[in-house]
Chains A and B, each alone.
Chain A
C-alpha cells in the first residue's frame, strides 16, 4: 500500500459474465423459417479459441440442404420482392432495434465463438451490425432516389458467404442491403464461427420476417462451394481469402450470376515526418493489432519516413509493452485469441520465414495463457519489399516495417502489391493527404485514423482485394437490377 517501490496498477479481470448466453448443444440449419435437421446427417463442432473448450455442435449442410435453402429463398422471393419498400423497411428496423436490445448477449457470444476481445465485440462489432440494419432499413422505401434516372429492382436469390473475423458484422453487411432491395438470402457463415448467425436467425424469426427470406446453412468449405454452384442462385457475395475468391470467380465464369468479392489485403500504413506522432502510434497499433490482425484491411505494412523511423519505432515498442493479451472476456484485454489452430500455424510459419529472410523480430514479453491459440503482437523491422512478410497476407498481429524518403516513394511502395483494399496516411498537411489519396490504389484511404467503419461509408477493394462496395448508397448497387441495365 503506501510506501516505496514502483506502484503497479493492476487491472481487474473485469470479466463479462457468460450467463447471459444460452448455447444450444446441437445447432440445426435455419431454412424456411424453421430449425431443421441437416439432410446430410453430418455435424461439425465449434470451439472457444481462447480455452479450446467445445462450445457446440452445428450442422454440416450438404448439397441437399443447400438445395432446400435455395428453394425456400426462391419461394419466399415471390412475395417478398412485391412487398412495398416501407414494409421491408419496418422489418429491418425491428431487427436493428432487437440487436440493440440484445447487444450484450451477442457480444459475449461473438467473443466466445471467435476469440476477439469483448471490448471490440461490444464497442465495434455489435453496434455497427445494428447500425447497418438501421441504415439500410432507411433505403428500402427510397430506392427511387438512389440511382439517377434508373428504376431499381431486386435480383432474386443471393448466396452470401462470410468469414470468421467479424461474424455478426459480416452477416449484417450482407443481409441488410440484400433485404432492403427486395432480395432473399441464403447465408453461409464461417466454419469456426457459426453461432452468432444462428442467434441472428432467432432475432429474424422474432421480428416476424417471413419464412425463407433469410436462410442460414452452416458447414465447411464444401457447403460454400455447393451454394456458389447452385443453378438457382442469382447473385453471389463472398468475403474471404483472395485464393477462394478467385475459385469462385472461376466457378461462375460464363454464367449470368452477379458477383461481388471482398478479399484480402496488405495495406500500407504510411507515416510522414510531419505526422502527429503519438496519435500515429495509436493508429498503427490499432491498424494491425485490432482484432488480432484478423482484418482484411489491416495496416500490416508500416511505411515510415526515414527522419522519424527511430523515434516511431521506440514509441511503438514502448506502446506494445502496454498491450494486454489474454482472456477475451476480460474488458481490459486488448489482444484476444487467434481464431483457430490452423490460422495460428499459418502466422507462425510466415513470421519464421520473415526472420529467416532477414527481418528483426520484436515482441513484448507477455505471458501466454496455457490453453488456447495465442500469438504475441509482433513487429518485424528491416523488412524490404521482396520479403514474403511484405507481400503475403499474414492475417495476424504481425507488423512489417519499411522506410521511405519521399511521398512518391511511399506511393510506389504502397501500390506495389496485387492487393488494394485500404491504406493509411499520417501527416498534418491536408494537401498531402489529398495528394496521396488520389494516388493510392486502394478502395479505402484512412487519413490520421485507421479501421474506421460506418454503414454510410462505402467499403471495398481495388485489384485482387475484390470488387463491389458495401456500405453507403454504393452498397445498394450489387443487389439491384437497374431498368435499362446494360451489363451482360
Chain B
C-alpha cells in the first residue's frame, strides 16, 4: 500500500510545505514552520511507514525538510542578468577547456549499436584528433547495453562510464526490476548511474515513495555515484523543482540532473539557478556537496559558459570541476571544439573541420 504523505494533516499545503520525515515513532512537531504539513497519522499508519523506510542519509529525519518557496519572476530576472556576463578572453579559453572536461558525452538512441558506442568512445578520448591539447571528456553516457562496450573501450583512460538505469526515461517500471537494472550496470563496470525521479509519485504528493526509491537506488548503486534526474520540464513550477531537489539530495543523490533530454523541455538557466540555490542550501545545512548536471538542449559554447557563470556565481569556484558539475550533451562537443580552435587560430572554422561521431 502507498503511504500518502499528507495523511491526517490539516490544511492544504502552503509554500513551505514540509516534505515528510521518515516517521519514527512519534510524528514531527508542529514547530516545522508556517504552512507545514503535520503528520498526525494514526499509529498503525505510522508503523507501516516505518516498515517501508530503509536507509536514512544525513540531512533527513532530523525534522521536516521544508522546501523553500521560489519567486519565478525574481529567479528568471537573476538568471537573465547572469546570462549577460561576458568572459575575459583568457578565461574564455579556460572555460571552454573546463566545459569539455565536464561533458558527459551522451548517446541514448534506439540505434546505438556496439559500433556506434566504439565511435563515441574514440571521440570521448580524443575529441579533436588534430589537437592533442584538447582534454578528454568527463564521461560517456549510454544505455545499459552499451556499458560493457564502453568499459572495454575506455579502460585506463580515466573517463567514466555513466549509464542510465531504472526504466529510463519514464521510470515507471516495477521497482524490483529498476533496482536490478542498476545493480546490473554497476556489475558490468559502470562508474555512474543516472536514474530518474518518480514523477508520478512526486506529482501525486507521494513524497515518501519518491524518497524511498532514490534511497534504495543509492544502495543498489553501491560504490557508483548516483545522479537523480528531476525532469524539471515536467514539474510545473520552480517551487516543485526546489522541492524535488531537496528531496533527491536528502535521499542520497550525488548529483541532481535537470533532464532526460527525451521530452520537449530541457535544461534552462533559471532551472539551473534554482537547483544551484537548493544545492547551496543543502551544503550549508549538511556539509555535503552535491553536484549539478544540466542536460538537454545545451548545444552551443555560449550556453555552456552561461551555465558555468550561473554555477560559479551561486556555488563558487569549488563547483568548477567535473566532480561537481557536468553537462550532458552530444552536439555541444563539436561547438566547444570550434570555439577552442577559433581561440587558438583566430579564424572561424567550418563544422567540416571536426569529426561527426
Please say whether the chains A and B touch (CB closer than 8 A).
Answer: yes
Within 8 Å of chain B (Cβ to Cβ): is A448?
A: yes
Using A1-B93, A6-B320 as known contacts, say yes or no to A332 and B85 having CB atoms under 8 A apart.
yes
Within 8 Å of chain B (Cβ to Cβ): is A11?
A: yes
- B312 surroundings in chain A (CB, below 8 A): 7, 9
**Are B97's CB and A1's CB within 8 A?**
yes
Within 8 Å of chain B (Cβ to Cβ): is A438?
A: no
Provide the A26-42 mask, 1 if CB < 8 A to any CB of B, else 0.
00000000000000000
CA of A57 to CA of B283, assembled, Å? 56
**Are B320's CB and A276's CB within 8 A?**
no
Using A9-B91, A275-B69, A276-B70 as known contacts, say yes or no to A282 and B84 having CB atoms under 8 A apart.
no
Contact of A7 among B93, B94, B313 (CB under 8 A): B94
| B316 nearest in chain A by CB position | A6
Interface of A is mostly: loop
Within 8 Å of chain A (Cβ to Cβ): is B145?
A: no
Give min CB distance, B258 to chain A, whole Å.
Answer: 18
Stretch with Cβ within 8 A of A (4 or more), from B72-80, B193-201, B261-269: B72-80
Within 8 Å of chain A (Cβ to Cβ): is B29?
A: no
Within 8 Å of chain B (Cβ to Cβ): is A8?
A: yes
CA of A417 to CA of B318, assembled, Å? 45
Within 8 Å of chain A (Cβ to Cβ): is B68?
A: yes
**Are A2's CB and B101's CB within 8 A?**
yes
Within 8 Å of chain B (Cβ to Cβ): is A406?
A: no
Contact-residue size bin, chain B (C-beta under 8 Å from the other chain)? 35 or more
**Are A7's CB and B88's CB within 8 A?**
no
Contact of B86 among A276, A282, A332 (CB under 8 A): A332
**Are A279's CB and B89's CB within 8 A?**
no
**Are B78's CB and A279's CB within 8 A?**
yes
**Are A282's CB and B74's CB within 8 A?**
yes
Within 8 Å of chain B (Cβ to Cβ): is A53?
A: no
Within 8 Å of chain A (Cβ to Cβ): is B1?
A: no
**Are B313's CB and A322's CB within 8 A?**
yes
Within 8 Å of chain B (Cβ to Cβ): is A274?
A: yes
Within 8 Å of chain A (Cβ to Cβ): is B90?
A: yes
Provide the B238-265 mask, 1 if CB < 8 A to any CB of A, else 0.
0000000000000000000000000000
- A282 surroundings in chain B (CB, below 8 A): 74, 77-78
Residues of A at the B interface (CB closer than 8 Å) are 1-2, 6-14, 119, 273-280, 282-283, 322, 331-332, 428-429, 448-449
Residues of B at the A interface (CB closer than 8 Å) are 14-16, 33-35, 68-71, 73-75, 77-78, 84-91, 93-95, 97-98, 101, 135, 277, 308-309, 312-313, 317-318, 320-321
Nearest first, the 10 closest Cβ-Cβ pairs linking A and B are A279-B74, A7-B320, A6-B317, A279-B71, A276-B71, A12-B88, A14-B86, A428-B15, A10-B91, A276-B69
Q: List 22 A-B contacts (CB under 8 A).
A: A1-B94, A2-B135, A6-B318, A6-B320, A7-B317, A8-B91, A8-B317, A9-B87, A9-B312, A9-B320, A10-B91, A119-B84, A276-B15, A276-B69, A276-B70, A278-B70, A279-B73, A282-B74, A331-B84, A331-B86, A449-B73, A449-B74
